[in-house]
Amino acid sequence: MRYGMVINLQRCIGCDACAIACKQANGTPPGVFWSHVIHKEAGEYPRARMEYTPILCMHCMDAPCVNSCPTGASVKEANGIVHIIQDKCIGCKQCVVVCPYQARWFLDSRIKGYFPEMGLTAKEDAQYGAFSFGRVTKCTFCMDRLAVGDPPICAQTCPTDSRIFGDLDDPDSDIAKLMRYRGPQPLGPEFGTNPSVFYIR
């Protein structure tokens, strides 16, 4: 089994529902976006248009973050998911530097919440406890949700079904069929990371 995702850019409308759902479900601190969407203007008047590129951890098979981690905190599971063992992270930021997708976040200050003058809300207080000052964090393909049979929250939330998640090794899965018949491509193939996230343009 190798988990992966195909993002159909022809369907993405740049609504940022994926980013909002990710922040809500994972309780990431202010300024930390495991999932986000790049909005870019393209073309010229009168044919100007907006282009949207959702970004998340690519869960690379040849992950430079895993290879460069001096403590073994960054690991790649047999199912392809790349994640961080927080207790082993020493905050050296080597993985942040080598990630070509800028998909890792270093918590360089204590978490104050969105309205620091008012203190943390009950929800913020509960969720921020999972994050540690001086360590790196990133998208996990929602490992906790996968454990109970649910897809990543970004894929479930997308109103246009532009994100297709599944087992790349299962020839009968929807994602494997898309790989065969639509030929999605990775972002930045020149990086040589063999990512598990692909895009249909």
For the entire predicted model, the pTM comes to 0.93
Angle, vertex CA 180, rays to CA 175 and CA 186, nearest 5: 70
Distance of alpha carbon 146 from its chain centroid, rounded?
A: 14
pLDDT of residue 124: 86
Residue 107 backbone zone (phi > 0: left; psi -120 to 50: alpha; other: beta): beta
pLDDT digits (tens, 9 = 90+) for 36-60: 999 999 999 999 999 999 999 999 9
Please give the residue range of the domain that contains residue 42. Answer: 3-200
For the segment 76-95, what is each residue's pLDDT rounded down to a tens digit?
999 999 999 999 999 999 99
Name the helix (H) or strand (E) containing 4: strand 3-8
Task: Give how many domains the chain has, as a whole number.
Answer: 1
Q: What are the angstrom distances between the C-alpha of 49 and each of 9, 43, 44, 123?
A: 13, 6, 8, 38
Q: Are 196 and 5 in contact (CB under 8 A)?
A: yes
Top-confidence range, 117-121, 126-130, 132-136, 172-176: 172-176
Give the C-alpha separation, 115 to 28, whole Å: 15
The 10s digit of each residue's pLDDT in 89-124 is 999 999 999 999 999 999 987 788 888 888 888 888
Identify the CATH number of the domain in which residue 78 sits.
Answer: 3.30.70.20
